[in-house]
Amino acid sequence: MEYIYAAMLLHASGNKVDEAAVKKVLDAAGVKADDSRIKALVAALESVDIEDAIKTSAVATAAPTAAAPVAEAKVEAKVEEKKPEEAAAGLGALFG
């Protein structure tokens, strides 16, 4: 995950995401960098529009969050409260 964060940090600061820059960011963060992982990351990101990927992921994560209150409302509607007398009547059966 640190490798992705390094690439995002470089992109956000307007720097080119290349192997040397990613390695510098990781070294500065105290992460022992693996050159093969850095090379794979940079190669994978060459054909990716990072801004578009960020926007797409932001929309994808916002959609389930917006639906969550609706689901909670349905669950709360199913919960029925018993009157104290009804609850006590059930306890009487325990003591015969």
Sequence-distant (≥ 6) Cβ neighbours of residue 16 within 8 angstroms:
10
* Structural tokens at position 89: 């009547």
Range of the domain at 73: 2-78
**pLDDT tens-digit map of 10-31:** 999 999 999 999 999 999 999 9
Quote the number of domains for the chain: 1
Query: Are the CB atoms for 22 and 7 separated by under 8 Å?
Result: yes
In a domain, 93, yes or no: no
In a domain, 38, yes or no: yes
CATH of the domain at 39: 1.10.10.1410
In a domain, 53, yes or no: yes
In a domain, 87, yes or no: no
**pTM exceeds 0.75, yes or no:** no
Higher pLDDT, 79 or 16: 16
In a domain, 86, yes or no: no
